[in-house]
């Protein structure tokens, strides 16, 4: 066994040393439902050429967003990434770099992370940002844990319009760390009253804007209600391009912003890797998870960059650390920084305006179809439609016609029959008139 050199005697000795009866017992924390009952259904070992052919066959079964009209969203969005961004991040000095454990010799890495932080702070309207988080979902989870530390409370109120994956990440942390979470029910109409759920034990209110179902809301009153009870407002943004068109969370009174940066510089990539964005007010900086790059001058007065406010506990005393994130999405953060730099402020604003215009055009087209109802009164580049029949079946039928119509809400909320007819539809600058024509024609045939 070339890659598995341990004998049975070796394994028994190691298990005995750690006081564990079997290898299987090492996985006791993995839920039974998540464990495989047998070997993965894959062919036996083969040669390299045969494996390449097999993998290519698997890949050919996918219908990618670049090969068909695509209106997929739900937290991951197709945008045009300039060729210059991919070219720059694939330079050897960037591609092979890792997290700066010796920051004094990683000046180039620290400089672009410093620029990344600056961009994130400007976009979100906050005072400080870190560099960086794994993705938006883990950023949201870390934001709740940070709010618990700041307020010394242990109860989070979570909007029903927060992305289901983000809700699950928060629920996982709550189970492990023992804090309470009040999850509001999904609310496609955007009428939930989160302020009524805040009590004296609430550490934070978590709300997404634009919401999972697409609605854009002013968070100012909710922020005031949270602050009146001593709680923090955590604003989550899954489509960062929206901040080119709507007020940033900081301007609405948010205390912490957790966001997904995939839309800028990073392709869909069948789910990752992505880059989480995290920003807060300066007074909370010592409770902020992750790494913080700072700018300084050296003994000769030359500008330099450092990892700042980094405690030893962060690295060696897990129980006292504010976070145990031990790496960052450095290359993805660089892609974000390069793309946003190429756009500039004016270009970013124009990109957001184009996204919204495309979505409005698409919503008007679909609203005119008999049997299709747009639920949103406000939206950025994504909205929810009710089809009058199960959306999952419609999506499958249109995929067979090589149209990626959208995301059936029931896929992310299994078991909720009241959501079965809802579909999320997204449009970006990559959406063409021909794409809209194809969707309108095919969807009209499905729901008539």
- Whether residue 7 lies inside any domain: the answer is no
Q: What is the pLDDT of residue 174?
A: 98
- Model confidence at 38, in pLDDT bands (50, 70, 90)? confident
Query: CA torsion 221→222→224→230, rounded to 10°?
Result: 170
pLDDT at 196 over 80: yes
| β-bridge partners, 307 | 293
- Whether residue 271 lies inside any domain: the answer is yes
Per the listing, tokens 């672009």 go with 112
Half-sphere exposure of residue 251, counting CA atoms within 13 Å on the CB side?
Answer: 11
Cα–Cα distance between 253 and 219 in angstroms, integer? 7
- Whether residue 397 lies inside any domain: the answer is no
Q: What is the pLDDT of residue 326?
A: 60
* Contacts for 436 with CB less than 8 Å, ≥ 6 apart: 361, 362, 365, 427
378 or 107, higher pLDDT: 378
- 276-280 and 293-297 as β-strands: parallel, antiparallel, unpaired? unpaired
Q: What is the pLDDT of residue 45?
A: 82
The DSSP code sequence of 173-234 is: HHHHHT-EEEEPPP-TT-----GGG--TT--EEEEESS-TT------HHHHHHHHHTTPEEE
Are 257 and 278 spatial neighbours (Cβ–Cβ below 8 Å)? yes
Q: What is the pLDDT of residue 1?
A: 47
Q: What is the pLDDT of residue 317?
A: 63
Q: What is the pLDDT of residue 324?
A: 62
- For the beta sheet containing 422-426, the strands, ordered from the edge strand earlier in sequence to the opposite edge, are 373-374, 382-386, 422-426, 407-408
For residue 386, the Cα-to-chain-centroid distance in whole angstroms is 25
Are 249 and 126 spatial neighbours (Cβ–Cβ below 8 Å)? yes
List b or e across 397-428, with b for residues whose CB sees 16 or more CB atoms inside 10 angstroms.
ebeeeebbbbbbbbebbeeeeebbbbbbbbbb
Could you give the percent of the chain with pLDDT greater than 70?
95
Are 213 and 406 spatial neighbours (Cβ–Cβ below 8 Å)? no
Q: What is the pLDDT of residue 46?
A: 86
Q: What is the pLDDT of residue 308?
A: 87
pLDDT at 2 over 70: no
Dihedral over Cα of 359, 364, 366, 367: its sign: positive
- 3-class secondary structure, 108: helix
Cα–Cα distance between 252 and 398 in angstroms, integer? 40
Are 179 and 171 spatial neighbours (Cβ–Cβ below 8 Å)? no
The domain that holds 328 is classified in CATH as 3.40.640.10
**pLDDT single digits (tens) 146-167:** 999 999 999 999 999 999 999 9
For 386, the enclosing helix (H) or strand (E) is: strand 382-386
Cα–Cα distance between 222 and 203 in angstroms, integer? 14
Mean pLDDT of the chain: 93
Provide the whole-model pTM. 0.90
Cα–Cα distance between 324 and 205 in angstroms, integer? 23
284: containing domain = 97-339
Cα–Cα distance between 230 and 242 in angstroms, integer? 29
- Whether residue 69 lies inside any domain: the answer is no
Could you give the percent of the chain with pLDDT greater than 90?
78
Q: What is the pLDDT of residue 99?
A: 67
For residue 411, the Cα-to-chain-centroid distance in whole angstroms is 17
- Whether residue 52 lies inside any domain: the answer is no
DSSP one-letter code for 260? E
Q: What is the pLDDT of residue 39?
A: 84
**pLDDT single digits (tens) 300-345:** 999 999 888 875 555 566 666 777 666 668 899 999 999 999 999 9
The count of domains in the chain is: 1
Q: Single out the residue of 292, 178, 165, 152 nearest to residue 232, CA to CA.
A: 152
- 204-208 and 155-158 as β-strands: parallel, antiparallel, unpaired? parallel
Q: What is the pLDDT of residue 214?
A: 98
Q: What is the pLDDT of residue 311?
A: 59
Range list of β-strands (E), 38-120: none
**pLDDT single digits (tens) 250-307:** 999 999 999 999 999 999 998 889 999 999 999 999 999 988 999 999 899 999 998 8
- Whether residue 11 lies inside any domain: the answer is no
- Quick one: tokens of 114? 């410093």
Are 176 and 189 spatial neighbours (Cβ–Cβ below 8 Å)? no
- Whether residue 19 lies inside any domain: the answer is no
Phi then psi for residue 284, to 5 deg, are: -105, 10
- Whether residue 81 lies inside any domain: the answer is no
**pLDDT single digits (tens) 395-433:** 999 999 999 999 999 999 998 999 999 999 999 999 999
């Amino acid at each position: 066994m070339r890659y598995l050199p341990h004998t049975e005697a070796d394994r028994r000795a190691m298990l005995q040393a750690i006081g564990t009866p079997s290898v299987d017992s090492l996985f006791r924390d993995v839920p039974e439902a998540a464990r495989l009952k047998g070997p993965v259904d894959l062919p036996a070992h083969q040669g390299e050429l045969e494996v390449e052919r097999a993998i290519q066959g698997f890949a050919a079964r996918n219908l990618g967003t670049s090969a068909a009209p695509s209106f997929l969203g739900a937290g991951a969005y197709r945008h045009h990434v300039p060729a210059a961004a991919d070219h720059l991040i694939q330079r050897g000095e960037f591609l092979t770099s890792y997290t700066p454990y010796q920051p004094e010799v990683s000046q180039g890495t620290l400089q672009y992370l410093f620029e990344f932080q600056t961009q994130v702070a400007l976009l979100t309207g906050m005072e400080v940002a870190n560099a960086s988080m794994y993705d938006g979902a883990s950023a949201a989870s870390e934001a709740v844990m940070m709010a618990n530390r700041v307020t010394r409370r242990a109860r989070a109120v979570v909007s029903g319009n927060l992305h289901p994956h983000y809700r699950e990440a928060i629920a996982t942390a709550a189970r492990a760390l023992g804090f309470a979470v009040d999850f509001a029910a999904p609310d496609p109409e955007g009428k939930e009253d989160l302020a009524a759920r805040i009590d004296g034990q609430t550490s934070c209110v978590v709300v997404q804007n634009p919401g999972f179902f697409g609605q854009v809301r002013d968070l100012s009153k909710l922020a005031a209600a949270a602050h009146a009870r001593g709680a923090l407002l955590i604003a989550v943004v899954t489509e960062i391009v929206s901040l080119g068109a709507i007020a940033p969370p900081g301007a609405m009174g948010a205390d912490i912003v957790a966001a997904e940066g995939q839309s800028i510089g990073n392709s869909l990539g069948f789910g990752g890797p992505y880059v989480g964005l995290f920003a807060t007010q300066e007074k909370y900086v010592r409770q902020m998870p992750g790494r913080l790059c700072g700018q300084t001058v050296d003994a000769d007065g030359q500008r330099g960059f450092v990892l700042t406010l980094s405690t030893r506990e962060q690295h060696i005393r897990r129980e006292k650390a504010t976070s145990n994130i031990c790496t960052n999405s450095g290359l993805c953060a660089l892609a974000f920084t390069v793309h946003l730099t190429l756009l500039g402020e004016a270009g970013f604003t124009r990109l957001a305006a184009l996204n919204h215009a495309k979505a409005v055009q698409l919503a008007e087209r679909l609203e005119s179809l008999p049997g299709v109802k747009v639920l949103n009164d406000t939206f950025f580049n994504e909205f929810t439609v009710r089809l009058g029949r199960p959306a999952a079946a419609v999506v499958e039928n249109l995929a067979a016609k090589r149209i990626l119509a959208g995301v059936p809400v029931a896929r992310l909320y299994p078991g909720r029959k009241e959501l079965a007819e809802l579909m999320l539809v997204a449009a970006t600058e990559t959406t063409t008139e021909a794409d809209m024509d194809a969707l309108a024609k095919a969807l009209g045939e499905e729901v008539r």
